[in-house]
């Protein structure tokens, strides 16, 4: 919950959620963090060419996605700014998720044994 609101579960198998997690875990955001606009440019690269009303809809969609990540403590907001940083738990989640997604079954079985 974030501010008493319920949010949906983070779906690690959903392609949209995976794209979002991949976007926030980019190395360029490690020091300065990221903003809604930064994530928007990665997820929707052609959105700059859309009319203003469509750009606002995309910005709102990204805001909802960031709210989900905040509620699950994957990211944290930098106080008094519009920036976010990946939280420690979020870094561990993304590292484990992408390691598991890129590993073969043989590698996973050998690691488990």
CA neighbor of 87 nearest in space, from 3, 21, 39: 21
pLDDT for 2 equals: 62
CATH of the domain at 20: 1.10.10.10
SS3 49: helix
Residue 47 counted as domain residue: yes
SS3 86: strand
**Distance between CA atoms of 41 and 35, rounded to whole angstroms?**
10
Counts of helices then strands in the chain (DSSP H, E): 5, 2
Residue 6 counted as domain residue: no
Write the CA distances from 71 to 25, 61, 75, 77, 87, integer angstroms. Answer: 17, 16, 8, 11, 12
Residue 4 counted as domain residue: no
The total number of structural domains that make up the chain: 1
Q: What is the DSSP letter of 29?
A: G
Domain enclosing residue 57, as ranges? 15-112
pLDDT for 108 equals: 75
Task: Name the average pLDDT for the chain.
Answer: 89
Give 60-94 pLDDT, tens digit per residue.
Answer: 999 999 999 999 999 999 999 999 999 999 999 89
Band of pLDDT at residue 1, cut at 50, 70 and 90: low
Residue 44 counted as domain residue: yes
pLDDT for 60 equals: 96
Cα 30–chain centre separation: 13
Band of pLDDT at residue 33, cut at 50, 70 and 90: very high
């Amino acid at each position: 919950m974030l501010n008493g609101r319920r949010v949906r579960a983070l779906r690690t198998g959903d392609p949209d959620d995976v794209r979002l997690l991949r976007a926030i875990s980019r190395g360029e955001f490690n020091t300065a963090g990221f903003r809604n606009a930064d994530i928007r440019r990665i997820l929707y690269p052609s959105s700059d060419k859309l009319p203003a009303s469509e750009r606002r809809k995309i910005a709102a969609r990204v805001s909802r996605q960031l709210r989900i990540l905040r509620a699950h403590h994957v990211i944290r907001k930098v106080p008094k700014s519009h920036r976010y940083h990946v939280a420690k738990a979020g870094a561990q989640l993304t590292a484990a998720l992408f390691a598991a997604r890129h590993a073969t079954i043989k590698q996973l079985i050998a690691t488990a044994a």
